[in-house]
A = this chain, B = another copy of it.
Amino acid sequence: MTDVDDTLTNVLRRRIIDGEFAPGTRLSEISLAEKLGVSRNTLREAFRVLSEQGLVEHVPNRGVSVASPTVADVVDIYRARRYVEPAALAAGSPLHPAVSAMRAAVEQGETSLEARDWRTLGTANMAFHDAIVALADSPRLERLFRDIAAELRLAFLEIDNPEALHAPFVTRNRALLETFLEQGGPAAATELQDYLVLSERTVLGAFTRLRH
């Protein structure tokens, strides 16, 4: 759970996701390398993989900036989620190890909701869906979801109403987990479809309202 991979790439990754650099911010090679205490070359190597992961946008001769997801990006992210998550849930076994991760995420979400700790709540919600994807036992699909989730968090960062964004889904996560355990994967999958449609609508609403 705790990711203590201290490679430069992961450090940058975490800092970006944590909102240290706002989406759209230009990341100057010289100043950032200096601030991180590494050389330009190693920083550039890290930039290449972050760019490949979609966290950072690279324009030739103009450097990299923190990705700033557009409405089209959000739509595409949810499209990909609808392809992967419900199918993983439908075929998943209630005995799969990832189920305990789902349960842990639900409980963490409930705790965070009570504490009104929106950042932790957002992380917990994401962990819940990550566990759903893990049901598929597919490293490649997990990688896709990891990248997609990171991008989505960037979109979340631009919305300054985290409560509306995350709070409504705590009870839904709990309900979805129970459906999965008591009624099986296919029933949970259809419930997740609706869930994702609602989630997309929530995000897009806040998003377009923001870009007004």
Q: Bound state CA distance, A80 and B140, in angstroms?
A: 7
Q: Interface of chain A, helix or strand or loop or mixed?
A: helix
A208 at interface by CB-CB < 8 Å = no
Interchain residue pairs A-B with the least CB separation, the first 7: A52-B52, A48-B48, A80-B140, A49-B52, A48-B49, A79-B138, A144-B144
18 contacts between A and B (CB under 8 A): A44-B45, A45-B45, A48-B49, A49-B52, A52-B53, A76-B138, A76-B139, A79-B136, A79-B137, A79-B138, A80-B140, A83-B83, A83-B141, A84-B84, A140-B144, A140-B147, A140-B148, A144-B144
State the A residues within 8 Å of B (CB).
41, 44-46, 48-49, 51-54, 76-77, 79-80, 83-84, 87-88, 136-141, 144, 147-148
B138 touches A80 (CB 8 A): yes
Q: How many copies of this protein are present in the complex?
A: 2
Q: Residue of B at shortest CB range from A87?
A: B83
Q: Bound state CA distance, A45 and B76, in angstroms?
A: 28
Beyond the given A76-B139, A79-B137, A79-B140, please list 8 additional residue pairs across the A-B interface where CB-CB is below 8 A: A45-B48, A48-B48, A48-B49, A49-B49, A79-B138, A80-B140, A84-B84, A140-B144
